[in-house]
């Protein structure tokens, strides 16, 4: 992802779009793109994989911009949260189980 991160940041810098990327605007953009991703499945379980990948990329794009804006390393925060989830969802309680951690 390092290469993608660098290219996304460069793409935005070239266009002077950083000025629009407040944390609030980026959070809204992530939610909007997640909605567009969901729209790919609106009326059917059949989906256009290319369209899904494009919307997934839009979500990740804004996540990368949000991490940059917050001056955090995206991989670090993802791994940190994964460790928290390991604690919340111990394998012996959650394997093959879709219940939320407070119902395990």
Q: Please give the residue ranges that form the binding site for Mg ion (CB under 5 A).
A: 33, 36, 55, 58
Name the packing angle between helices 74-88 and 49-69 (round to 10°): 100
If we measure between CA atoms, which residue out of 81, 76, 74 comes closest to residue 4? 74
Q: Between residues 36 and 94, which has the closer beta carbon with respect to Mg ion?
A: 36
> Which residue has the closest beta carbon to Mg ion?
58
Distance CA 1, CA 36 (A): 22
Q: How far is the CB of 55 from Mg ion (least distance, A)?
A: 5
Q: Are 93 and 87 in contact (CB under 8 A)?
A: no
Q: How far is the CB of 6 from Mg ion (least distance, A)?
A: 21
Q: Between residues 21 and 55, which has the closer beta carbon with respect to Mg ion?
A: 55
Q: Between residues 7 and 73, which has the closer beta carbon with respect to Mg ion?
A: 7
């Amino acid at each position: 992802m390092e290469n993608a991160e660098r290219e996304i940041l460069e793409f935005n810098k070239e266009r002077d779009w950083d000025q629009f990327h407040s944390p609030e605007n980026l959070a809204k953009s992530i939610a909007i793109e997640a909605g567009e991703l969901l729209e790919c499945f609106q009326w059917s379980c059949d989906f256009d994989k290319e369209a899904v990948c494009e919307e997934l990329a839009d979500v990740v794009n804004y996540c990368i911009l949000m991490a940059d804006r917050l001056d955090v390393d995206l991989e670090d925060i993802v791994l940190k949260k994964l460790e928290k989830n390991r604690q919340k969802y111990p394998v012996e309680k959650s394997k093959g189980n879709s219940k939320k951690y407070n119902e395990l």
